[in-house]
Amino acid sequence: MQTVLFTSTIFGPIHSRRLGTSLGVNLMPNDGKICSFDCLYCEAGYNAQGPGTTGVSKREEVRRALKNKLQAMKEAGQALDVITFSGNGEPTLHPNFKEIVHDVVNLRNQYYPEAKVSVLSNATMAGKPSVMAALKQVDNNILKLDSAVARTMRLINRPVSPNVLPDGIIEDLKAYGGKCIVQTMMVRGEHDGEIVDNTTDAEIDALINAYLAIKPREIMLYTIDRKTPEQKLVKVPVEDLKRIARHIESETGITVQVTG
Ligand code: SF4
Could you give the CA distance from residue 126 to residue 28 in angstroms, rounded to a whole number?
A: 17
> Quick one: pLDDT band at residue 3, thresholds 50, 70, 90?
low
- Per-residue pLDDT of 45-93, as tens digits, reads 999 999 999 999 999 999 999 999 999 999 999 999 999 999 999 999 9
Delimit the domains of the chain by residue range: 10-259
For ligand 1, the distance from its centroid to the CA atom of residue 38, given in whole angstroms, is: 6
Cα separation, 225 vs 79, in Å, equals 25
pLDDT in tens, 226-239: 889 999 999 999 99
β pairing state of 218-223 and 256-259: parallel
For residue 256, the cross-strand partners are 219
Is residue 170 within 8 A of residue 216, CB to CB? The reply is no
Ligand 1: residues with CB < 6 A are 35, 37-39, 42, 44, 89-90, 122
| Closest CA to ligand 1's atom 8 | 42
Any idea which fold 10-259 has? Answer: TIM Barrel (3.20.20)
pTM: 0.96
The Cβ-side half-sphere exposure at 123, using a 13 Å CA radius, reads: 28
Helix (H, G, I), strand (E, B) or coil at 83: strand
